[in-house]
Amino acid sequence: RIRDRNELADFLHTYLAIRPVPEWQPFFEELLLEGRVVDSEGVWVSATRPCIVEELRDDDEAAATLLTAHLEAAGPVAIAHLVSEEVLGAGPLRGAPLTAPRAKTAIARLEQMGFAVALPDGRWCTRETFRRLNARAKAKRRHNEPAVSIAAYLNFLLHWQHVAEGSQLVGRDGLLEVIRQLQGVELAAGEWEPQIFAARVRDYQPAWLDELCLAGEVTWSRLTPKVTPEDEQRGSTAPSMATPLTFMMREEFGWLMTSARHKLNVEPPRHGPAAEVYETLALNGALFRGDLAAHVTRFPSEINDGLWDLVARGWIAADSFHAVRVLLKNTQRGHSVSRKSTAGRLARGVTRAPSASGSGEGRWSLIRHTSQSLGRLELEDLGERVAVQLLLRWGVVTYELFDQEHFGVSWLYVSRALRRLEAQGQIVG
């Protein structure tokens, strides 16, 4: 608001030119008598730059400066209105004394400077106006989405995760949707099929999981390995139903691994069957379990233990989850068979597993990973990926839910991503 002639003089000195404003006419006439302003072609300008109207035709910086005051006064506005003679916003300022092409050039410059923002409907506003609009829209959305009780949320979650009666999914596509929702969750290897998949997919068939894995759509691994000093001393780990594993979409394998491990320095085993299996895979690439026996001079049970130790460390995975079923099924049987046939193998000079072992599980291969320092932009990207995954998994995101997960990115980046998504109108806070 202009309250006296001095404020009008300062305004014209800063913003260069405006169309006449009836409410400010007395102030302008006083300034004319004092020689501090000029009426140039029906446009009010400061006497410090009396030729500014002509300069505006070529001077992009001057045009952008002039437009800032008009854009601030207008609120969200179309270019045609911004340069018209009509009152802008609540007034009393009129449209900018520019042609539409010059205004478009000027506003593009303001956008590059971060001052102007283009709205989806083609209108423009200042960044501060955009912030206020978002704040009001956010407050309105939050008001329209009241909080619910814990009981109501738990009931929602049972349906959201397809556990409630009648909400189960069907077939391979249904299983794929469940894996997409739960990817990154680490649960005991022996729980996934009988308790997780069977509860969410009607008439679940293990063959569906193997088909998805062998088709390259899904993979499995341990994300956050924990190796104890006892494990290092032993050099291998016996297959266990309790070993945590997760499933994930193969196309999202990279960011999930990075988010979980970028702070971890996971070392490969240094001795024992696991070390020999690791070295063999590192040297020869992916191998079937039967082919491993041609390179690793160990009993079948020891090769199994070495494979599982590498699984528990998060160093390897197989093409199919059938490999895990085989190892778990043979936990006890494999050891007894190996001991009984030791003498026969030594007599023949052969120390390899039967060629039929591992049938249907595909090849075993290394998961290469190293700890790395991530930059701010990479952490921001990871934070957004984690935020979207948590929303897909839980329907809502709170710190308490985030804290139960195994993502190695801080809540700071996740919460910032959530605020960005809310500002874009994609979620409600």
Q: Indicate whether 358 and 275 sit together in one domain.
A: yes
Picking from 366, 385, 403, the residue at the C-terminal end of a domain is 366
Looking at the 3D structure of the chain, how many domains does it have? 3
Asked if residue 398 and residue 341 are part of one domain, the reply reads no
Q: Which of 176, 179, 372, 367 is nearest to 259 (CA)?
A: 372
> Which residues in the chain land under pLDDT 50?
332, 334-357
Tell me: do 360 and 408 sit in the same domain.
no
The verdict on residue 178 lying in a domain is: yes
On whether both 361 and 380 belong to a single domain, the answer is no
Residue 138 within any structural domain of the chain: no
Residue 243 domain flag: yes
- Residue ending a domain, among 366, 396, 415, is 366
Residue 140 located in a structural domain:
no
Residue 139 within a domain? no
Classify residue 371: in a domain, yes or no: no
Whole-number pLDDT of residue 359: 57
- Give the pLDDT confidence of 40-76 residue by residue, as tens digits: 989 999 999 999 998 898 899 999 999 999 999 999 9
Task: Check whether residue 402 and residue 256 sit in a common domain.
Answer: no
| Residues 173 and 281 grouped into a single domain | yes
307 and 380, same structural domain? no
Residues 88, 158: one domain? no
Please name which of 211, 205, 200, 274 lies closest in space to residue 239, comparing C-alpha atoms: 274
Residue 82: inside a domain, yes or no? Answer: yes
Q: Is residue 145 part of a domain?
A: no
Q: For helices 376-394 and 411-423, give the axis angle rounded to 10 degrees.
A: 70
Identify whether residues 127 and 268 lie together within a single domain: no
pLDDT at 178: 98
pLDDT recorded at residue 137: 80
Say if residue 407 is in the same domain as residue 336. Answer: no
Residues 53 and 201 in one domain: no
Residue 93 belongs to domain spanning: 5-133
- pLDDT in the model for residue 338: 45
Let me know whether 235 and 197 are in one domain.
yes
Rounded CA-CA distance 202/416 in Å is 38
